[in-house]
Amino acid sequence: MERIDSAAAYLREKLGTRTPVIGIVLGSGLGKLADQIENQLVIPYKDIPDFPVSTAIGHKGNFIVGSLGGKCVLAMQGRIHYYEGYGMELVVLPVRVMIRLGIRSLFVSNAAGGTNLDYHVGDLMIIKDHINLLPNPLIGPNLDGLGPRFPDMTRPYDPSIIKLALRLAAEMGIEVHQGVYVGGTGPSYETPAEYKYFRLIGADAVGMSTVPEVIAARHAGIPVFGMSVITNEAHDDYADDYVNDGHDVVVAADAAADKMTALFIRIIESL
């Protein structure tokens, strides 16, 4: 709690009179949404006392505050992953800091592999639910100042924001899937048998992030909206020369980032 509060105090001083109402987590290759933030102030994670730094490819490692869709937002350009070797309490620290700063909703995004055979590279998926295969970030003494010991997870992703997003996507002519995201540890990509397993247990997309942050936000009662960009397709039979590659994932995410950015902005405008 001290670590959360000291990072929040540092940021509060930097923010001055700016009071972000929406927190945004930008996933692999999706950092360019930050370019659309007006009157922005960049606060590098490395300048924040005792703060973890993102080492993943396609993750820059900055907080960016400014105006998006007419609202004051605080965006994380790059997140912290469990596979980087950080403990779960550090993976969720940035989100908890944003919560301490008073955000009233959290938007999360990620690059993900499509386990649903109808999903293709460049597709967008609104996350309607998740399956957690990472350690739960709430394990350990409960931080009573943030939320209850046994938080409800009946509606992990806010149904009213999903409804709004579906209406706006249709108006904008942007096709979106609605699906279940399974979060694993990575960093190895899945074997064909694992992709099949995830499909069988009800997942439409798989990634290495997001779920911890969503659990931390829901612990604190913050409504969440989540979106995956499908960067690779999970088949059971690959071509002899097919490989999953982290750089290809970032390139595919970057190519679809404009669509996701446009939709995020419209949703934020309409909230």
Instruction: For residue 177, list its beta bridge partners.
Output: 125
Instruction: Tell which one of 84, 89, 123, 190 touches ligand HPA (CB under 6 A).
Output: 190
Question: Coil, strand, or helix at residue 193?
Answer: helix
Residue range at the interface with ligand HPA (CB under 6 A); choices 47-55, 97-105, 135-143, 205-213: 205-213
* Cα distance between residue 196 and residue 69, in whole Å: 39
Dihedral (CA of 262, 264, 269, 270) sign? positive
Q: Which is nearer to ligand HPA, 16 or 193 (CB)?
A: 193
Catalytic residue among 34, 209, 216, 233: 209
204: contact with ligand HPA by CB under 6 A: no
Rounded to an integer, what distance in angstroms lies between the CA atom of residue 99 and that of residue 125? Answer: 25
206 binds ligand HPA (CB under 6 A): yes
Told to check if 29 binds ligand HPA by CB under 6 A, we report: no
| Annotation says 98 is catalytic | no
Structure tokens at 78: 């790059």
Q: Please, what is the minimum distance in Å from the beta carbon of residue 139 to ligand HPA?
A: 23
Catalytic residue among 84, 89, 213, 233: 84
* Residue 232 is a catalytic residue: yes
Say whether residue 249 binds ligand HPA (CB under 6 A).
Answer: yes
Contact 213, 92 (CB under 8 A): yes
Active site residue 194: no
Is residue 225 a contact partner of residue 267, using CB atoms and an 8 Å limit? yes
Catalytic residue list contains 84: yes
Please name which of 231, 116, 234, 244 lies closest in space to residue 181, comparing C-alpha atoms.
116
Interactions with ligand HPA, residue window 130-189 (CB under 6 A): 186, 189
| The one segment of 17-25, 75-83, 94-102, 206-214 that binds ligand HPA by CB under 6 A | 206-214
Binding status of residue 111 toward ligand HPA by CB under 6 A = yes
Catalytic entry in 232, 234, 252, 253 = 232
Q: What is the per-residue DSSP string for 93-145? A: HHHHHHHHTT-SEEEEEEEEEE-STT--TT-EEEEEEEEE-SPPTT-SS--TT
Tokens 């942050």 identify what position? 213
In whole angstroms, the minimum distance from the beta carbon of 252 to ligand HPA comes to: 8
What is the set of active-site residues?
A: 28, 59, 81, 83-84, 111, 208-209, 232, 247
Binding site for ligand HPA (CB under 6 A): 111-113, 186, 189-190, 206-208, 231-232, 244, 249
